Chains A and B, each alone.
Chain A
Amino acid sequence: MTTVQPDVDSIDLSDLEFWTLPLEQRDAAFAALRRDRPFAFFEEPEIPFIEKGPGYYAIVRHADVEAVSSQPKLFCSGEGATSIANLPVELNEFYGSMISMDDPRHAKIRRIVSKAFTPKMLEALVADVEQITDKLLADARAVAESGDGTFDLVKHVSSPLPLKVICQMMGIPEEEEQLVLDQTNLILSGGDEEFIDDENKALELILGAGQALADVMERLAEERRTTPTADLTSALIRTEVDGETLSHQEIASFFILLCAAGNETTRTAISNGVYALHQNPEQKARWMADPELTKTAVEEIVRWASPVIWMRRTATQDVEVGGHQFKAGDKLIMFYNSANRDERVFTDPDTFDISRDPNPHYGFGAPGPHFCLGAHLARREISVAFRKMFEQMPDLEVAGDPDRLKSSFINGIKRLPVRLTGSA
Chain B
Amino acid sequence: MSDPLRAHVDDQMCVGTGICEATAPDLFEIGDDGLSHVLKDEVPPELVAAAREAAENCPTRALSLTGG
A joins B in a complex: yes
Q: Which residues of A contact B (CB under 8 A)?
A: 70, 107, 110-111, 113-120, 241, 364-369, 371-373, 375-376
Check if A376 sits within 8 Å of B22, measured CB to CB: yes
Report the Cα distance A117→B18, complex, angstroms: 10
B35–A114 contact, CB under 8 A? yes
**Once the chains are docked, how many angstroms separate the CA of A367 from the CA of B19?**
12
- Which residue of chain A has the shortest Cβ distance to B13 in the bound complex? A369
Residues of the A chain whose Cβ atoms lie less than 8 Å from the Cβ of B32: 115, 118
Q: Please encode chain B, from 1 to 42, with 1 for each CB lying within 8 Å of some chain A CB and 0 for all others.
A: 000000000001101111101100000001111110000000
- Minimum distance in angstroms from A271 CB to a CB of chain B: 25
For the complex, give the distance between the alpha carbons of A375 and B59 in Å.
11
With a CB–CB cut-off of 8 A, which chain A residues contact B18?
118-119, 375-376
**Extra contacts besides A116-B34, A375-B17 (16): CB < 8 Å:** A107-B12, A110-B15, A111-B15, A115-B16, A115-B32, A118-B31, A118-B32, A119-B21, A119-B22, A119-B30, A367-B59, A367-B61, A369-B13, A371-B17, A373-B15, A376-B22
B15 shortest CB reach to chain A, Å: 5
Specify the chain B residue showing the minimal Cβ separation from A371: B59
Which residues of chain A are near B19, meaning CB under 8 Å? 375
**B59 interface neighbour in A114, A115, A118, A368, Cβ under 8 Å:** A368
Collect the chain A residues with CB atoms within 8 Å of residue B60's CB. Answer: 367-369, 371
> Whole-angstrom distance from the CB of B50 to the nearest CB of chain A?
14
Cβ–Cβ contact A114 & B61, under 8 A: no
Chain B interface main SS type: loop
Whether B34 and A117, one on each chain, are in contact in the complex, defined by CB atoms closer than 8 angstroms, is yes
Interchain CA distance A372-B17 in the complex, whole Å: 8
Residues of chain A lying within 8 A (CB to CB) of residue B31: 118
A114, A366, A373, A375 — most chain B CB neighbours (10 Å): A114
Which B residues are closer than 8 A to A by beta carbons?
A: 12-13, 15-19, 21-22, 30-35, 58-61
23 contacts between A and B (CB under 8 A): A70-B61, A107-B12, A111-B34, A111-B35, A115-B32, A117-B16, A118-B16, A118-B31, A119-B22, A120-B30, A241-B33, A366-B59, A367-B58, A367-B59, A367-B61, A368-B60, A369-B15, A369-B60, A371-B59, A371-B60, A372-B17, A373-B15, A375-B19
Question: Min CB distance, B29 to chain A, in Å?
Answer: 9
For the complex formed, measure the closest distance between the CB of B21 and the CB atoms of chain A, giving whole angstroms: 7
Tell me which residues across on chain B come within 8 A of A365, comparing CB atoms: 59
Q: Are B15 and A371 in contact (CB under 8 A)?
A: yes
In contact, B21 and A114 (Cβ under 8 angstroms): no
Chain A neighbourhood of B61, CB < 8 A: 70, 367
A113 to chain B, nearest CB (A): 8
Minimal beta-carbon separation of B28 from chain A (angstroms): 11
**Given contacts A367-B59, A367-B60, A368-B60, are A115 and B34 in contact (CB under 8 A)?**
yes
Verify B34–A114 contact, CB threshold 8 A. yes
How distant is the Cα of A367 from the Cα of B31 in the complex, in angstroms? 21
Q: Which residues of A contact B13 (CB under 8 A)?
A: 369
Chain B residues contacting A111 (CB-CB under 8 Å) are: 15-16, 34-35
- Docked complex Cα distance between A111 and B31 (Å): 12
Residues of B within 8 A of A114 (CB): 15-16, 34-35
Query: In the complex, A19 Cα to B61 Cα: how many Å?
Result: 33
Task: Name which residue of chain A comes closest to B30, CB basis.
Answer: A118
For residue B19, which residue of chain A has the nearest CB?
Answer: A375
Q: Which A residue's beta carbon lies closest to that of B16? A: A114
Contacts of B16 in A (CB 8 A): 111, 114-115, 117-118
- Expressed in whole angstroms, the minimum distance between the Cβ of A284 and any Cβ of chain B is 26
Ranked 6 nearest A-B pairs via Cβ = A114-B34, A115-B34, A371-B59, A114-B16, A119-B18, A118-B30
- Which chain A residues border B17 with CB–CB below 8 Å? 371-373, 375-376
Among B15, B18, B31, chain A packs the most CB atoms within 10 A around the CB of: B15
Residues of B within 8 A of A373 (CB): 15, 17
Q: Report the nearest A residue to B29, measured CB to CB.
A: A120
Write the chain B residue with the least CB distance to A98. B15
User: Distance in Å from the Cβ of A20 to the closest Cβ of chain B?
Assistant: 32
Min CB distance A101 to B, Å, is 13
Distance between Cα atoms of A376 and B59 in the complex (Å) = 13
Residues of B within 8 A of A119 (CB): 18, 21-22, 30
